[in-house]
Amino acid sequence: MTTTKKHLSTEYWYKMPDPDERVVCTLCPRECKLAPGRRGFCYIRMAINGEIALTAANLTSGIAVDPIEKKPLYQFLPNTKVLSFGAIGCNLGCKFCQNWHISKTRDEFDLSVPASPSQLVAQAISAQCSGIAYTYNEPIISMEFVLQVAKEAKTAGLKSIAVSAGFIQEKPRERFFSAMDAANIDLKSFDHSFYQKLTGGGNLSVIIDTLRYVKHHSNCWLEITNLIIPGYNDDFSTITKMCDWIVCELGQDVPLHFSAFHPDYQLTEIPPTPAHTILAARDIAIKSGIRYVYTGNIRHPQGTNTYCHHCQQPLIERQGWSVNIFANNGICPKCHTQCAGIFTQKSELIK
């Protein structure tokens, strides 16, 4: 139910019993306490008329048609296109944000592209996309609008994809990810202090719970990205601990993407991640037992290809955004082993 043309009523909040008429947003663990007219940490959720309203419905900061590999998703409908869009704001405050000009802006002119759910779906169909990706900024903070788009997309036979940091409370987590067909979730570090110091109050335990939920209690295909920042989360013992946890708690078949950092936002003095660090992390993950380990933001052909975990036959080769697929529905042409993932629009989730 809309409160104005671009304001959307939300569900996850409650009123405080105080004279200031504050409202508590319970979408994410911050639980922002907002007086009338005040905005939450994420900026686009606001106390209006005694409730929390989403102030960014039917508007986006930009729309583009992307290769699905750009999300990155490597084992979900490879070599297809997705319609990508986002809003502004974020419920984390990462000092290393690579999209800070969108996630940190407080200029509503940056949220100026009209886009209703039906318009987005129509554009995706016109561009022959396999689905719609909720990306560029954190889609969780636009949950109500995202769910409207996802519902219409499903009716049209399109998939829904979330690119998220996974910082969300338990009840809305179930609602949000039940509407997603695939997600790439940032696991920024496996160190609690990293989240506290560099993400503006994020909590590793919450992200761990989200990863467990998506993997074990949803039908959403999961891939993970870990951005490696020199001097902050490039400790190999911590990376080993993270990879061991993924194998133990999520399984060997969850693809892991190690991505190289480039200086940005509030960490401009930090040098780019050396390629050898990314490759060493990949080796650690493979030795830990993760079957599909990828590298991003560096040139390394083996790190962008998908191989059969049984015989190491190339199943999908990638050069930039050029993709060659040798496996029919993820089945190795040499030894006939099934690769985990979703490889056609109508195929079932293979975990």
What's phi and psi for 17, nearest 5 deg?
-85, 70
Euclidean distance between CA atoms 34 and 49, whole angstroms:
12
In our burial notation (b when 16+ CB lie closer than 10 A, e otherwise), range 232-242 reads: bbbeeeebbeb
Residues 6 or more apart in contact with residue 140 via CB below 8 angstroms: 27, 28, 91, 162, 164, 165, 166, 167, 168, 172, 176
**What average pLDDT score do residues 220-224 get?**
98
pLDDT of residue 112: 82
CA 304 to chain centre: 19
Average pLDDT for 139-145: 97
Give the mean pLDDT of 144-155: 98
As a whole number, the mean pLDDT across the chain is: 94
Phi, psi of 319 (to 5 degrees): -130, 105
Residue 5's pLDDT is 52
pLDDT of residue 124: 98
Q: Is the pTM of this model over 0.85?
A: yes
Instruction: Report which of 222, 233, 248, 163 is spatially closest to residue 192, judged by C-alpha positions.
Output: 233
As a whole number, mean pLDDT of residues 279-288 equals 98
Query: How would residue 347 be classed by pLDDT, with cut points 50, 70 and 90?
Result: low
Q: Which residues, listed in sequence order, are joined to residue 306 by a DSSP beta bridge?
A: 316
Domain locations in the chain as residue ranges:
8-54, 59-293
Mean pLDDT of 297-312: 94
At 184, the pLDDT band (50, 70, 90 cuts) reads very high
Average pLDDT (97-118) is 89
Closest CA to 249 of 217, 293, 273: 217
Distances (CA, A) of 199 to 3, 8, 156, 205, 259: 32, 27, 37, 14, 17
Q: Which amino acid is at 251?
A: G
Task: List Cα–Cα distances, 1 to 4, 8, 58, 178, in angstroms.
Answer: 9, 6, 13, 21
Residue type, 287: K
Checking if the pLDDT of 101 tops 50, the result is: yes
- What is the spatial distance between Cα 298 and Cα 257, in angstroms, rounded to a whole number? 12
Q: What is the mean pLDDT of residues 300-317?
A: 96
Q: What is the pLDDT of residue 3?
A: 38
Cβ–Cβ < 8 Å for 148, 37? no
> Is a pLDDT exceeding 60 seen at residue 1?
no
Least confident among 122-126, 299-303, 331-335: 299-303
pLDDT confidence of residue 175 = 97
The two three-digit tokens of residue 121, written as one number: 């779906």
For the domain made up of 59-293, give the CATH fold.
TIM Barrel (3.20.20)
d(CA 255, CA 135): 19
